[in-house]
Amino acid sequence: MFAECGIRLTAEDVGNIEVAGFGLGELDVQGLELITYVNNDRYCAKELLLFPRQTCPEHLHPPVGSDPGKMETFRCRAGKVFLYVDGEAAETVQAAVPAGSEAYYTVFHEIELNPGEQYTIMPGVKHWFQAGDEGAVVSEFSSTSRDEVDIFTDPRIERIPVVEEDL
């Protein structure tokens, strides 16, 4: 999907693709694939890939110390993305909330992003997003990313995987 929209990846990039299943065991429904190009104490750049109708669950980026929290701009590169943030709810929501997780999706102000369109999410704003029927590729430009402190509405979510070894 990256190559189809003109994003060239090195072998190192491909080896660094992260599959975020959020510990829910339903990657094709709630999950995200991503590559982090850079993440330091000033800024972050990532590519996000969503399979058809795959959803990144509702969450927010809280303040960390004196930092107000992550501010991020999503720029759609391919496909279509339905982004939901705090605000007046859409009369008709184009995304499908994942079955069994309805209680954990609470914001429904809809922003539709098509290739070349972008939207900036301010720190502390609840949001979630879902790809359209053909999937989507989104470039994310943000302040420092601290995934380990993100707050998800769904208490079942594990953003940072826990690896358990049998002894």
Domains of the chain: 3-152 (2.60.120.10)
Structural contact between residues 113 and 73, judged by C-beta atoms closer than 8 angstroms: no
Nearest to 23 by CA among 166, 165, 116, 161: 161
Residues 6+ apart with CB under 8 A from 134: 52, 79, 80
Structural contact between residues 69 and 123, judged by C-beta atoms closer than 8 angstroms: yes
Q: Tell me, what's the pLDDT at 163?
A: 52
Low-confidence ranges of the chain (pLDDT < 50): none
Q: Tell me, what's the pLDDT at 16?
A: 94
Q: Tell me, what's the pLDDT at 165?
A: 63
Q: Tell me, what's the pLDDT at 159?
A: 75
Q: Tell me, what's the pLDDT at 167?
A: 61
Structural contact between residues 35 and 18, judged by C-beta atoms closer than 8 angstroms: yes
CB neighbour burial string for 80-104, b if at least 16 within 10 angstroms, e if fewer: bbbbbbbeeeeeeeebebbeebeeb
